Amino acid sequence: MTFQARPRGLPAQKLLPSGPDRADTLCAQEPIHIPGSIQPHGVLLVADPSRAMAIVAASQNAGLVSGDSQSNTLLGVPLAEVLGEEFTATLMDLAAAGELPGETPWETALGLPGGAFEIMSHIQDGMVLIELEPVAPTDEPDALAAARTLQRAIARLRASGGGLRELAQVAVQGIRQLTGYERVLIYRFDQDWHGQTLAEDKVDDWEQSLAGLHFPSSDIPAQARELYRRSLIRWVPSRDAVPVPLHKDPSWDLPETPERPIDLSFSRLRSLSPVHLQYHRNMGVDGSMSLSILHEGQLWGLMVCHHRRPHRPSPGQRAAAAALTDAFALRIGGAVQRGVEQARRADLQRLAELMAHMAEADGVSAALTAGSVTIASLFGCMGAAVVRGDTVELLGTAPPAKDVLRLTAWLCTQAGQDLFHSDHLGAEFQDWPHAGIASGVLAVFLNAERSDLILWFRPEEPYLVNWGGNPGKAVEPGQTSILPRLSFERWVEERHGYARPWEDWELEIAASLRHAITEVVIRSLTRIAELSERLRQSQKMEAVGQLTGGLAHDFNNLLTGIVGSLDLIRNRVAQGRVTELDRYLGAATASANRAAALTHRLLAFSRRQTLDPKPTDVNRLVTSMEDLIRRTAGPAIHVETVMSGGLWTTLCDANQLENALLNLSINARDAMPDGGRLTIEAVNARLDDAYARKHHDVMPGQYVAVSVTDTGAGMPPEVVARAFDPFFTTKPLGEGTGLGLSMVYGFAKQSNGYVRIYSEVGQGTTVRIYLPRSMGQVEPDQEGEGPFPLAAGPEGGTVLVVDDEPVVRMLVGEVLRDMGYGVVEASDGIQAAKLLEGGRRIDLLVTDVGLPGGMNGRQLADAARTKRPGLKVLFITGYAENAAIGNGLLEPGMQVMTKPFAMDSLASKIRSILV
Ligand code: ADP
Ligand code: MG
């Protein structure tokens, strides 16, 4: 078998595809090793496959291999003669198969006349380089121990759950244990090839620490970095060992390429460059080793081992160190990911907070600055700005608004879609005087015009850079060969105008924030604005509908007043009784005037009423009302009052409180058509500061809380939200006025108290009125006679007239008095109910159906009949209230008249009823 069959230099071509970049030519600019010699701890043989593996070059110490101290005797000798047939045949097979690349040489061991050797072979430039290193007696036990240590070290790496620094620390400790070097560090390249010490482990008595130092990229020139990427290990047992020259067969140099050096790029015996050795001298380092850390095919960093004296880790230890370095390299991605995850999780948390703030805001501007603290602290920033058109909101430490606007204008002209970022803004944007606080900027554009944006600023970070060398200083060619830097002193190179770079994940979060703001917040706020406009519109329509209904009712009342007055005038004139006409004319005029003012009054509906607050004993008040409430509620509802001892006196208008409780009881009754339980309860209540903070309308203090609770239908939240609105009702036309709770609310407010609704659909409702505590005394005759004008009851009988329209009351009253009846008047259902509750004689109830205050005419009649069965009732209705009174299907003794009506038809109706 001959190598002639295979094209020469194929593996070499594969390795070094780009001629001009070849390490050896670049090394000419700053040689990283001395061509033509090797370190003395091994032997190098070079065999030429095209000459049947004849040795064409050898290090001067080649005689070690054959036990012959004579140097340079092997040139021209076939390799098989020196290393044996078997070894040579395998080597040729591997070479033919292209399996001897410099990155992964073939490693084996041989017993030779000169002793046992570790052998590494690889092909370079078509030549096979065979490196032989004498095995020391301790190498084998060392290798075993190293294998065990390696296992433990890898286990520790695997267990390291932290970020990159923690992982690196575990790795350097492991390498030091494996190899016995005095100092091991991991040195990481940044994107500009500057390096930084990420982790260091060293013996205690070596004070010089390289931890945290930065090193300029010029320390490791580009060609060296390229070589390190492919040749993964450099090893110098002793810095000052005298190199061994290489001798070449004269046929080595082809005529066309004279003086071709042997390319030692992948040789483990290669000497370090004089520059490098000078570094080591300056640092006090003698023995050293450095392993490349590759991550995703790139030179990511170096594992650097230093010793102050010569040091030789055994081949097994070196192999274990290489394995551990690889194990570390494999975990870089995960550790970076974990570190990123942690920072990212923190920012996502902030993002979530921000979104929550934004969701609560009621406008876009408010939303953007709602979480201003959070916005500014995102990405570990100290300052940010929110720009909306010409308005700038500065958050934290940020440049002045005018400069932010200038920057914004410039950003508009920049490329990129949704984001802009820079960690060296001064270099891109002219006249930027704010490098100190804003060397870095990250901007997200919130609209296509880029008039709205959020900017984050990052300060300059020169103080972070502790250079271990001068990055500006080139390695100068000296008179003889190379003049290495003479000092390795540290000094700070101030890098002006640089901020910490923006990480990819930070850009991702900024992008998702942008997305959230533009797609979610702005859109949904716009949508909410739209919807609430629609809602306002529909509420307006509903209110208009209610007002129209109410107006029709009131107008009919007033028309009744006018038409009725005219009727009466006509009657009186016909009878010749002209003396009292003024009164009816006045009534008619008043009705007409009031009709004119009606729209105004309704629209300006206000909760103001004249109150007469006095110290009130709520226990007594509730007890006195119990019977009335029971009657109003009807037999299907169990009424219970729970009065507490020691109840404070409260300050309120007792009459209005009665009305309020009656209103609430009526609502409770309406909510329990199939019966249930109604509880009225009064307790002392202290509203403390914490409660007041939660309910911004509340003053902390002492109150009496009166609750009306039912086990009825309950209210959904949207009904609760509007229940206090005047005219808001869910009840059918004619049954609800929507004024009950509005009255309760107005009363509580005017009494310096509060009212709250607690309701659950299907469970029931509690309405609780808080009335302020009073220190005054309850007046003994508080209940008195009441405000009702009580006419005497003549023999013909007494009629109770209930209408909220005084003119109607007056007219009907006149007709009745004319007919010889006694008349009692009430202006709403609740007043009337109280009158009916008393013992006075009443033969007929004439009542309007739609009455204010929560109790309509029908309900009034029902309640009255529980106490006075068979009480005669005449409904006079000015409204489409048929449903309320049973759609014409009235009980016996009940009649109905529709307003407006003529006074004489009223008279005959009453007469027919009372006969
Ligand atoms: P109205 O009783 O005339 O409808 P209110 O102002 O008294 O007017 O009540 C407004 C609305 O609040 C009612 O229509 C009803 O929907 C609801 N509501 C009030 N009290 C209760 C209650 N105890 N249970 C269920 N819903 C109630
Ligand atoms: Mg009501």
Ordered by start, the domain boundaries in the chain are 34-134, 361-461+500-523, 606-774, 798-914
Of 877 and 433, the structure prediction assigns the larger pLDDT to: 433
Model pLDDT, residue 793: 41
Instruction: Give CA–CA dist 166/872, Å, rounded.
Output: 95
Terminal C-alpha separation, the chain: 143
pLDDT for 5 beyond 50? no
Q: What is the DSSP string of 371-405?
A: THHHHHHGGG-SEEEEEETTEEEEEES---HHHHH
d(CA 716, CA 597): 37
Per-residue pLDDT tens digits for 576-604 = 777 777 778 877 777 776 665 554 444 33
Nearest CA to ligand 1 atom 8: 738
pLDDT tens profile 213-256:
777 776 777 778 888 888 888 899 998 898 898 888 776 656 66
Ligand 1 pocket check for 683: Cβ under 6 Å: no
CA 615 to centroid of ligand 1, rounded, Å: 29
Residue 470 and residue 487 in contact, taking contact as beta carbons nearer than 8 Å: no
- Strand pairing partners for 31? none
Check pocket membership of 289 for ligand 1, CB cut-off 6 A.
no
Could you give the dihedral angle defined by the CA atoms of residues 215, 221, 223 and 224, in that order, rounded to the nearest 10 degrees? -50
For the Cβ of 708 lying below 6 angstroms from any atom of ligand 1, the answer is no
DSSP-based three-state secondary structure for 876:
strand
Ligand nearest to the CA of 724: 1
745 Cα to the center of ligand 1, angstroms: 12
Residue 46 near residue 122 (C-beta atoms within 8 A): no
Average pLDDT for 750-777: 91
Question: Which CATH number fits the domain 361-461+500-523, given the four candidates 2.60.120.200, 3.30.70.3280, 3.30.450.270, 3.30.360.10?
Answer: 3.30.450.270
Segment holding 368, helix H or strand E: helix 364-370
For the CA of 671, the nearest ligand: 1
CB of 546 within 6 A of ligand 1: the answer is no
878 secondary structure, DSSP code: S
Instruction: Show the CA angle centred on residue 670, arms to residues 664 and 672, nearest 5°.
Output: 105
Pocket of ligand 1 contains residue 106 by CB under 6 Å: no
Of all residues in the chain, what percent carry a pLDDT higher than 70? 79
What's the 740 CA to ligand 2 centre distance in angstroms? 4
The reported pLDDT for the residue numbered 571 is: 82
671 lines ligand 1 (CB under 6 A): yes
pLDDT above 80 for 910 = yes
Distances in Å between the Cα of 350 and the Cα atoms of 346, 373, 375, 503 are 6, 10, 8, 17
User: What is the pLDDT, as a whole number, of residue 676?
Assistant: 94
Q: According to the model, what pLDDT value does residue 253 have?
A: 59
The CATH H-level (homologous superfamily) assignment of domain 798-914 is Response regulator (3.40.50.2300)
Does the beta carbon of 854 lie inside 6 Å of ligand 1?
yes
**Measured distance CA(526)–CA(530) in Å, rounded:** 6
Q: 750 falls in which pLDDT band (50, 70, 90)?
A: confident
pLDDT at site 490: 43
33 Cα–ligand 2 center, Å: 100
Of ligand 1's atoms, which has the minimum distance to the CA of residue 739? 6
Residue 644 near residue 684, CB atoms below 8 Å: yes
| Predicted pLDDT at 786 | 39
Length of the chain: 915
Reference 440, options 512, 384, 360; nearest CA is: 384
* Cβ–ligand 1 contact at 765 (below 6 Å): yes
Distance 667 CA to ligand 1 centre (A): 5
Average pLDDT, the chain: 79
Ligand 1 center to 849 CA (angstroms): 18
Q: Ligand 1 in contact with 755 (CB < 6 A)? A: no
pLDDT of 715 higher than 70: yes
Share of the chain above pLDDT 90, in %: 25
Contact 196, 215 (CB under 8 A): yes
Closest-lying ligand to the alpha carbon of 721?
1
State in Å: Cα 549 to ligand 2 middle.
Answer: 17
Q: Which of 395, 374, 506, 370 is nearest to 444 (CA)?
A: 506
Give the CATH class of 34-134. Answer: alpha beta
| Mutate which of 666, 680, 729, 860 for ligand 1 pocket (most atoms within 8 A of beta carbon) | 729
Expressed in angstroms and rounded, the spacing between residue 858 Cα and the centre of ligand 2 is 14
Which of these, 651, 641, 639, 638, lies nearest to 619 by C-alpha position? 641
| Residue 657 CA, ligand 2 centroid: distance in Å | 15
> CB of 730 closer than 6 A to ligand 1?
yes
Which ligand 1 atom is nearest residue 743's CA? 6
Q: What is the pLDDT of residue 627?
A: 81
Backbone CA torsion sign across 508, 509, 514, 520: positive
The pair of structure tokens assigned to 84 is 């044996």
CA distances to 155, 173, 295, 328 from 161, rounded to whole Å, are 12, 16, 19, 13
Residue 487 has pLDDT above 50, yes or no: no
Among the bound ligands, the one closest to the CA of 729? 1
Choose one of 662, 666, 667 to mutate for the ligand 1 pocket test, by most ligand atoms within 8 angstroms of C-beta: 667
**pLDDT grade for 791, boundaries at 50, 70 and 90:** very low
Higher-scoring residue by pLDDT: 184, 743: 184
What is the pairing mode between strands 701-710 and 764-772? antiparallel
Tell me the one-letter amino acid at 672. M
Q: Give the pLDDT score at 182.
A: 96
Q: DSSP E strands: which ranges in 688-806? A: 701-710, 754-760, 764-772, 798-802
Q: Is 808 in the pocket of ligand 1 (CB under 6 A)?
A: no
Q: Which residues touch 777 (CB under 8 Å, ≥6 apart)?
A: 615, 649
Tell the residue nearest (CA) to atom 17 of ligand 1.
723
The predicted pLDDT at position 634 comes to 83
Helix or strand (DSSP H, E) at 186: strand 183-189
Whether the per-residue pLDDT at 500 is higher than 90: the answer is: no
Q: Could you tell me the sign of the dihedral formed by the alpha carbons of 617, 621, 626, 627, in that order?
A: positive
Rounded to the nearest angstrom, the distance between the alpha carbon of 630 and the centre of ligand 2 is 16
- The Cα-based distances of 754 to 213, 620, 666 in angstroms read 68, 21, 20
Which CATH code fits 606-774?
A: 3.30.565.10
Ligand 1 pocket residue status of 885, Cβ below 6 Å? no
Residue closest by Cα to atom 25 of ligand 1: 714
Q: Is 736 in the pocket of ligand 1 (CB under 6 A)?
A: yes
Cβ-count burial of 832 within 10 angstroms (0-12 exposed, 13-18 middle, 19+ buried)? buried
Domains 34-134 and 361-461+500-523 share a fold: yes
Q: Relative to the alpha carbon of 884, which ligand is closest?
A: 1
Beta strands in 668-747 (DSSP E): 676-687, 701-710
Cα 734–Cα 736–Cα 742 angle in degrees, nearest 5: 145
Separation CA 591–CA 209 (nearest Å): 103
| CB 393 less than 6 A from any atom of ligand 1 | no
Task: Work out which ligand 1 atom sits closest to the CA atom of 710.
Answer: 23
User: Is the distance from CB of 183 to CB of 305 less than 8 angstroms?
Assistant: yes
Q: Which helix (H) or strand (E) holds 111?
A: strand 106-112
Q: What is the band of 160 on the pLDDT scale with cuts at 50, 70, 90? A: confident
Helices (H) and strands (E) in the chain, counts: 26, 32
> pLDDT value at position 760?
93
Residue nearest to atom 12 of ligand 1 (CA): 723
Between the CA of 726 and the centroid of ligand 2 the distance, in Å, is 11
The letter for the amino acid at 102 is G
Q: Whose CA is nearest to atom 16 of ligand 1?
A: 730
Of 16, 12, 84, 8, the closest CA to residue 48 belongs to 8
Residue owning the nearest CA to atom 21 of ligand 1 = 667
The residue assigned the tokens 């009494």 is 751
Place 126 in a pLDDT band, splitting at 50, 70 and 90.
Answer: confident
pLDDT score, position 260: 65
Give the number of whichever ligand sits closest to the CA of residue 669. Answer: 1
Residue 467 has what DSSP assignment?
A: B
Q: Are strands 764-772 and 288-295 parallel, antiparallel or unpaired?
A: unpaired
**E-only strand ranges, 195-342:** 195-202, 214-215, 233-236, 244-248, 288-295, 298-306
Q: Tell me, what's the pLDDT at 2?
A: 30
723 touches ligand 1 (CB under 6 Å)? yes
Of the ligands numbered here, which is closest to the C-alpha atom of 723? 1
Centroid of ligand 1 to alpha carbon of 730 (angstroms):
7
Q: How many CB atoms lie within 10 A of CB 698?
A: 18
Report which of 787, 808, 796 is spatially closest to residue 857, judged by C-alpha positions: 808
Does ligand 1 lie within 6 Å of residue 846's CB atom?
no
**238 C-alpha vs ligand 1 centroid, how far in Å?**
97
CA of 165 to the centre of ligand 2 (A): 71
